[in-house]
Structure 1
């Protein structure tokens, strides 16, 4: 973690990327919560698309931050990935 700057200096690339990532994560959570409570089909569709948009933006900025070394990445061991994957069974029914 990096402490926020309190000296009034303009934000650097890392601070801007972090702010954008946090904004997109928060937006995605809010859209997801709203879509679960929405009864209007048109509004629900909009909220679903907005969630996906925020999710994709968050992933893009996360990839940028990893590439720049701003977001440390430690890959999970294959054994843990397999253990988690074995818990879930695929669903072969299409969503309607």
Structure 2
């Protein structure tokens, strides 16, 4: 393996694989605390996918035959609830017995967000195009899993989406306009 990859790639790959193991282990720790069957289904599906993705990465690098990374398929139809609707105060738990579905979902979401950013940064250090794309797809997969958990939390009212006054939103959005193509002013020489 070392003859085919650069030092940065090997180190980043080591970190991505370790992060994946940590995520799987973290989700396994959450499982006994889940009460809601919908959340349990999401958790189990994501653990299974994360394990499969990990095994695919290990197989790809060990056999030097990197295959297409498998995209995560989360729910597609969702109407987010916008606005704040009496959010309850949040405080840390004082014991493990207090851990509930909201805590689990929030932990899952945080794990996926961090892994998505981490994997995208790791992909930028890859010279090998196939390895780069595999890690990039892993970042997209984490983002899709995060969105699935976020949807669940939004439905439950645990992750509310604050909004601004319509005039503020409109003013901010309308400050941007398309750029005119205009004549080419610079010529690039190769």
Which of 90, 99, 111 aligns to 1:23? It is: 111
Once residues 143 and 178 of structure 2 are traced to their aligned partners in structure 1, the CA distance between those partners, rounded to angstroms, is 22
Q: Report what 2:154 is aligned to.
A: 66
Aligned residues: 88
Structure 1 residues 45, 62: closer, same or farther in 2, change over 3 A? same
Which of 170, 175, 183 aligns to 1:79? It is: 170
Q: CA RMSD in A?
A: 2.1
Once residues 91 and 177 of structure 2 are traced to their aligned partners in structure 1, the CA distance between those partners, rounded to angstroms, is 38
Structure 1 residues 52, 88: closer, same or farther in 2, change over 3 A? farther
Once residues 69 and 42 of structure 1 are traced to their aligned partners in structure 2, the CA distance between those partners, rounded to angstroms, is 40
Aligned: 1:7 with 2:95: yes
Once residues 159 and 177 of structure 2 are traced to their aligned partners in structure 1, the CA distance between those partners, rounded to angstroms, is 29
Q: Report what 1:47 is aligned to.
A: 135
- 1:32 CA displacement: 0.8
Q: Where does structure 2 lack aligned partners over 5 or more consecutive residues?
A: 1-88, 180-190
- Taking structure 1 as the reference length, the TM-score comes to 0.77
